[in-house]
Amino acid sequence: MSLRNTLHADRRALSRFLSRVENQRDSVAAQLAELYHAASDSIVIGVTGPPGSGKSALVTALTKLLRERDLKVAIVAVDPTSPFSGGAILGDRIRMRELAGDDGVFIRSMASRGQLGGLAWRTQDIARVLAAAGFERVIVETVGAGQSEVDIVNLAHTTLVVQAPGAGDDVQAIKAGILEAADILVVNKGDLPGAERLLSALKTMLEMGHPTKTADDEALWMPPVIAASALKSTGIEELARAIDAHVRHLQSHGLQNVHQRNQLRAEFMAKLRESVLRRVIDSTTDDELAGIIERATKQRIEPQQAVDRFLDSFEIHRKRH
Ligand SMILES: Nc1nc2c(ncn2[C@@H]2O[C@H](COP(=O)(O)OP(=O)(O)OP(=O)(O)O)[C@@H](O)[C@H]2O)c(=O)[nH]1
Ligand SMILES: [Mg+2]
């Protein structure tokens, strides 16, 4: 049986494979390459926003709706702040527990490890494996956008930015840059006071910050602002429709190629950084490193200079055929 068929058919095999991907086992490189082409049809939806804004609750509600449409959904909950696979992740699992028992849903949590390089490429690999395993929608939840290692904008076809009332000084509290990340803005917790005000403030901010569509620039997408309440299950249909509309927009303007290229560039750079770092570190013993640091301390070599001298001792070979 091909790897792809195994991952389709066997949840435990899928989980094991994802763990290997997550642990950066070199042994999966060839298998990831094999799966690469199988992953292309799936739509990756990024969900980001401040802690506690109701991302997981919204993802749960959206997933239920997608299941009514008979779409298979995988959810990846990324916790980029906690160094351990601790509380937040368990919390996500608990909130999403109402999805348990449905064969068409697969939930995976990832903790950032603060190891070599970033989380971004591993999340990308995980999303790709899930797509190849037959999940037609892959939803990736992360806290924050832009500043985190998981560059959700490059990862996802459609990025939802979730805001909620009650986070202190509403509009001022919205992190710069997060609105630019949004293909769709969601004001969740519409059942709470202040939601209306936040909604209209966000609409105003978007209108001011976003160039309006002109006749000769059809390709411009104006992010809609959706009012929702995951608690009361309102606005979820509208949200799903907005996602569909955005995906259609990408398709009809050939923007999927643009997205793919941007995504590939970001992934290439992330993987390049990680690989170069790994190769350099792998080819240096702990003793050698200790010696370099010892010398730098004794001779009071400025750290950047120490790094440059160390790197100068490596020859970067470019193979020519
Ligand atoms: N009143 C109200 N509460 C909500 C709504 N959606 C979520 N909550 C509550 O808000 C809290 C946080 O919800 P989560 O879905 O865990 O939020 P999150 O953004 O995933 O949180 P983190 O993953 O920790 O960043 C929970 O107690 C939810 O029950 C809503 O629409 N209305
Ligand atoms: Mg969450």
Residue 77 CA to ligand 2 centre (angstroms): 7
CB of 77 closer than 6 angstroms to any ligand 1 atom: no
**At 305, which amino acid appears?**
Q
Res 311 pLDDT > 50: yes
Q: How many CB atoms lie within 10 A of CB 75?
A: 26
Residue 294 lies inside a defined structural domain of this protein = no
Res 263 pLDDT > 90: no
Nearest CA to 222 out of 201, 241, 246, 200 is that of 246
Rounded CA gap, 29 and 17, in Å?
A: 12
**Which of the ligands is closest to the CA of residue 60?**
1
| Distances 273 to 27, 118, 315 between C-alpha atoms, Å | 20, 9, 17
The rounded mean pLDDT for the chain is 82
Mean pLDDT of 281-305: 92
**At 5, which amino acid appears?**
N
Residue 8 CA to ligand 1 centre (angstroms): 31
Q: How many CB atoms lie within 10 A of CB 206?
A: 16
- Percentage of the residues of the chain whose pLDDT score is greater than 70: 79
Residue 12 CA to ligand 2 centre (angstroms): 24
Residue 277 lies inside a defined structural domain of this protein = no
Residue 274 lies inside a defined structural domain of this protein = no
Residues 6+ apart with CB under 8 A from 49: 55, 143, 144, 145, 160, 161, 162, 163, 164, 178, 186
CB of 54 closer than 6 angstroms to any ligand 1 atom: yes
Spatial contact of 80 and 115, defined as CB atoms under 8 Å apart: no
CB of 43 closer than 6 angstroms to any ligand 1 atom: no
Res 317 pLDDT > 60: no
CB of 148 closer than 6 angstroms to any ligand 1 atom: no
- Percentage of the residues of the chain whose pLDDT score is greater than 90: 42
Residue 300 lies inside a defined structural domain of this protein = no
For the chain, state the CA radius of gyration. Answer: 22
Calculate the CA 81 to chain-centre distance. Answer: 14
Residue 188, domain extent: 3-255
> Which of 15-24, 29-38, 191-200, 207-216 is most confident?
191-200
Rounded CA gap, 124 and 261, in Å?
A: 14
Q: Mean pLDDT check: name the lowest of 95-104, 169-178, 199-208.
A: 169-178
Residue 138 DSSP code? E
pLDDT band at residue 246 using 50, 70 and 90 as cut-offs:
very high
Residue 225 CA to ligand 2 centre (angstroms): 20
- The pLDDT of residue 11 is 92
pTM for this model (two decimals): 0.84
CB of 229 closer than 6 angstroms to any ligand 1 atom: yes
Residue 289 lies inside a defined structural domain of this protein = no
Give the atom of ligand 1 at the shortest distance from the alpha carbon of 79. Answer: 23
Spatial contact of 163 and 186, defined as CB atoms under 8 Å apart: yes
Calculate the CA 202 to chain-centre distance. Answer: 23
Residue 301 lies inside a defined structural domain of this protein = no
CB of 139 closer than 6 angstroms to any ligand 1 atom: no
Residue 81 lies inside a defined structural domain of this protein = yes
The residue ranking higher by pLDDT, 29 or 319, is: 29
Out of 47, 48, 53, mutate this one to test ligand 1's pocket (max ligand atoms within 8 Å of CB): namely 53
Out of 141, 189, 192, mutate this one to test ligand 1's pocket (max ligand atoms within 8 Å of CB): namely 189
Residue 173 lies inside a defined structural domain of this protein = yes
Please report, for the domain that includes residue 149, its CATH number: 3.40.50.300
Residue 49 CA to ligand 2 centre (angstroms): 9
**Which of the ligands is closest to the CA of residue 55?**
1
- The pLDDT of residue 296 is 93
What dihedral do alpha carbons 293, 294, 295, 301 form, nearest 10°? 50
- The pLDDT of residue 186 is 96
CB of 95 closer than 6 angstroms to any ligand 1 atom: yes
Rounded CA gap, 126 and 13, in Å?
A: 14
Res 247 pLDDT > 80: yes
CB of 56 closer than 6 angstroms to any ligand 1 atom: yes
Residue 249 CA to ligand 2 centre (angstroms): 28
- The pLDDT of residue 172 is 59
Number of structural domains (the chain) is: 1
User: Cα angle vertex 275, ends 271, 276, to 5°?
Assistant: 120
Residue 233 CA to ligand 1 centre (angstroms): 13
Res 148 pLDDT > 60: no
